[in-house]
Amino acid sequence: MQTVADFYTKRNAELLRQWLKLTRGGMNIREAAKTVAENNEGITEGLINGIVYNKKYPYAAEAWAIIHKEEEAAEKLKKEKPGTATTPVVAKA
């Protein structure tokens, strides 16, 4: 059974993923917060900003920890296996 803390941590991590994808794609941080809020029912820009900028916001630190672990794992995989899906592989006959 999922606890309340698990629910909010996972929700915040998903909101962070969406916000990071938009900002890393070149979108303004305020526009990204507004877009994420509009795309998720019951979520406000203030909530997004609280998760992103306030580490003391409930379950924000835990969500950031999840994001950092995912990014470290992706970076490690990229270094270990240079022929992964992110790198095109040319078939040799």
Tens digits of residue pLDDT in 26-53? 999 999 999 999 999 999 999 999 999 9
Q: Say if CB 12 and CB 63 are below 8 A apart.
A: yes
54 Cβ neighbours under 8 A, 6+ residues apart: 60
Say how far apart CA 75 and CA 29 lie, in whole Å: 24
CA count, 13 A, side-chain hemisphere, 93: 0
Say how far apart CA 52 and CA 34 lie, in whole Å: 13
Average pLDDT over residues 59-73: 94
Q: Please report the pLDDT score of residue 90 as a whole number.
A: 45
Statement: residue 89 has pLDDT above 50: no
CA 63 from chain center: how many Å? 8
* pTM of the predicted model as reported, rounded to 2 decimal places: 0.80
Average pLDDT over residues 52-75: 92
